[in-house]
Structures are given as structure tokens and as C-alpha cells.
């Protein structure tokens, strides 16, 4: 993305340009720690890694569920903020050169332009370009205030971040959300992907979503790819971005190596 030089451009904003939020200062630190595993997302035709999704884990590699079970209404904001910082820190420490995709909790974002402040600071502190950050939200999260989610996405894009909707087809919003905001990337839910080569209904649904995204200029990513048959059917639909065990499992505090056989 080319740099812009207009005074109000998000590309020229620094930490001091962003509003602050008292919630950042008033909340206590979390009483638990966590870390991240990273799973590659590949561009099949280019034979390259497109991005790495940051997946929360315990400090010793414990499951995401064991960490998310500790998140409450009282600590949700602090947890969301810490996730952003730790994901960027880990990506920089590992020397990740591609995009890093970070999940965020829209119900933990009060004021997008203030809540993004910690991400800018982390990117600067760890020398990780903000232009390589993707913010993704799970389409299945029950967001009571959808206009608020649209505003978050709009602000994040204004500040130069890429956006993604995760688990599309599994949640509350579906096509209604897509009609209101078009992210850079749409991630097909793995239940739609599983054995798609054997399911006519799944083929019809995914084919329709891919066509819609093509017309809207949205890149489609298929997650949960486990077999070459799934991969090949989706390639035939025009999907080129893949994530799943066929290519590489999430790797705790490390960069995973792509399975060479997955390319054939």
C-alpha cells in the first residue's frame, strides 16, 4: 500500500495523534498469562506463505479453550489489548515477514481510534510494520451492536490495517454483515470446507459465496483444509488461499514449515 502524505492520512498518524481511553489506565493487569502459536496461510498458486494466524495458547502450549475460559466481562478489554501486543511481539521475535492475522473481540472495543493505540505502540516498539497486520473477527461471535462492529472495521481500514471475517457461514451475521462491510479477506468456516468434494449442498453454497466475493473484490480463504481432495475442489472454484493441517499445524512460539507434499 503506497504511503500517503495528506495531513489527516492514517498513514501519517503517530501514537500522539490518537485519542487515549481511561479504560486502558484504570483496568488492572490480567491475573493469568498466555502466549501464541502461529499457523501459516498459504497462497497455493504462488507457492508462498501469505500470512500467519496468531492463535492464543497457554504459556506452556495449553489449549486456547483453557485460556479463553478465564476471560470474563471484567477482564475482556485487557485481554483483547494484551492479545494484540503479544501477537505482534511474537511475530517480530520470530522474524515473520508476511502478514500476521490477529483475532479481536468487538465487544471489547469501546472506541476504535483509542483502542487501536496499543497496536500502533506495539508495532513501533517491536519494529513490525502495521501494514502487515490483519484484524479478523469471528463471524460467529454474537455482536449485539452490529453498527459498532462496522465502525470498528471501517476505522481499522482507515488506519491502514487489513480486515478479515473468520468462520464465515457459521454465525449470526452472514450475508447481512457482508452487505454492510466488505473485508479484505473472507475465511470460509471449516465445517463448509470439510469433505466439500463429496457434498453437493456445500459445493453450491461455497460456489455462491466465492462468486459474490469475486464481484466484491474480496479474497476468499479456506481454513481447515485436511485433504488434497478438499484443496483441489476449492482450487477449481477459484480459491487460492488455504489454511489447515494439510499444509501445516499451528506451531507454538515458532514458524511452522509447510508440508512439501501439500503442494503436489
Q: Model confidence over 33-65: pLDDT tens digits?
A: 999 999 999 999 999 999 999 999 999 999 999
Q: Which residues pair with 99 in a beta bridge?
A: 51
CATH code 1.20.140.70 for 10-257: no
CA separation for the pair 102, 135 (Å, rounded): 5
Q: How much is the average pLDDT of 69-79?
A: 91
Residue 113: per-residue pLDDT: 77
Backbone angles phi, psi at 53, to 5 degrees: -85, 130
Residue 172: per-residue pLDDT: 54
CA separation for the pair 78, 193 (Å, rounded): 34
Q: What percent of the chain is predicted at pLDDT more than 90?
A: 70
pLDDT band at residue 4 using 50, 70 and 90 as cut-offs: very low
Residue 115: per-residue pLDDT: 80
The burial class, CB within 10 Å (0-12 / 13-18 / 19+), for 102 is buried
Residue 6: per-residue pLDDT: 32
- 152 vs 222, more confident: 222
Cα Rg, the chain, nearest whole Å:
18
Residue 176: per-residue pLDDT: 83
Instruction: Mark 49-82 as b/e (b = at least 16 C-beta within 10 Å).
Output: bbbbbbbbbbeeeeebeebeeebeeebebbbbbb
CA separation for the pair 260, 130 (Å, rounded): 30
Does residue 11 carry a pLDDT above 50? no
List the Cα angle 68/73/78 in 5-degree steps. 70
CA separation for the pair 106, 96 (Å, rounded): 26
Task: Let me know: does 58 contact 34? Beta carbons within 8 Å.
Answer: yes
Nearest to 115 by CA among 79, 141, 143, 140: 79
* Cell numbers linked to 68: 479463553
- According to DSSP, residue 46 is labeled T
Does residue 24 carry a pLDDT above 70? no
Note the pTM of the prediction, 2 decimals. 0.87
Residue 2: per-residue pLDDT: 35
Residue 143: per-residue pLDDT: 57
Per-residue model confidence as pLDDT tens digits over 171-229: 555 788 889 999 999 999 999 999 999 999 999 999 999 999 999 999 999 999 999 99
Does residue 13 carry a pLDDT above 50? no
- According to DSSP, residue 218 is labeled -
**Secondary structure element (H or E) that encloses residue 65, with its range:** helix 64-68
* Cell numbers linked to 100: 500476521
Nearest to 3 by CA among 51, 13, 124, 62: 13
Task: Let me know: does 167 contact 186? Beta carbons within 8 Å.
Answer: no
Residue 82: per-residue pLDDT: 94
Residue 27: per-residue pLDDT: 55
* Cell numbers linked to 80: 483483547
Residue 105: per-residue pLDDT: 83
Residue 28: per-residue pLDDT: 62
**Which of 20-24, 36-40, 132-136, 199-203 bottoms out in mean pLDDT, i.e. has the lowest?**
20-24
Q: Which residues pair with 40 in a beta bridge?
A: 52
pLDDT band at residue 5 using 50, 70 and 90 as cut-offs: very low
Amino acid at each position: 500500500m503506497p504511503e500517503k502524505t495528506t495531513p489527516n492520512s492514517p498513514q501519517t498518524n503517530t501514537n500522539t495523534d490518537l485519542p487515549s481511553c481511561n479504560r486502558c489506565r484504570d483496568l488492572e493487569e490480567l491475573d493469568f498469562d498466555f502466549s501464541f502459536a502461529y499457523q501459516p496461510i498459504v497462497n497455493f498458486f504462488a507457492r508462498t506463505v501469505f500470512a500467519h494466524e496468531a492463535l492464543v495458547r497457554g504459556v506452556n502450549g495449553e489449549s486456547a479453550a483453557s485460556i479463553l475460559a478465564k476471560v470474563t466481562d471484567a477482564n475482556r478489554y485487557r485481554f483483547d489489548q494484551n492479545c494484540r501486543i503479544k501477537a505482534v511481539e511474537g511475530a517480530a521475535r520470530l522474524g515473520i515477514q508476511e502478514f500476521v492475522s490477529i483475532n479481536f473481540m468487538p465487544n471489547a472495543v469501546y472506541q476504535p481510534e483509542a483502542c487501536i493505540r496499543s497496536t500502533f505502540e506495539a508495532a513501533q516498539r517491536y519494529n513490525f510494520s502495521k501494514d502487515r497486520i490483519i484484524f479478523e473477527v469471528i463471524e460467529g461471535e454474537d455482536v449485539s451492536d452490529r453498527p459498532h462492529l462496522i465502525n470498528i472495521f471501517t476505522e481499522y481500514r482507515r488506519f491502514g490495517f487489513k480486515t478479515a471475517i473468520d468462520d464465515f457461514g457459521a454465525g449470526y451475521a452472514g450475508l447481512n454483515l457482508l452487505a454492510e462491510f466488505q473485508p479484505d479477506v473472507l475465511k470460509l468456516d471449516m465445517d463448509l470446507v470439510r469433505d466439500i468434494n463429496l457434498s453437493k449442498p456445500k459445493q453450491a453454497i461455497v460456489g455462491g459465496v466465492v462468486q459474490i466475493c469475486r464481484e466484491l473484490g474480496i479474497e476468499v480463504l479456506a481454513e481447515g483444509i485436511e485433504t488434497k481432495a478438499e484443496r483441489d475442489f476449492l482450487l477449481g472454484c477459484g480459491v487460492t488461499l488455504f489454511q489447515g493441517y494439510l499444509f501445516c499445524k499451528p506451531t507454538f512460539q515458532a514458524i511452522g514449515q509447510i508440508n512439501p507434499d501439500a503442494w503436489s
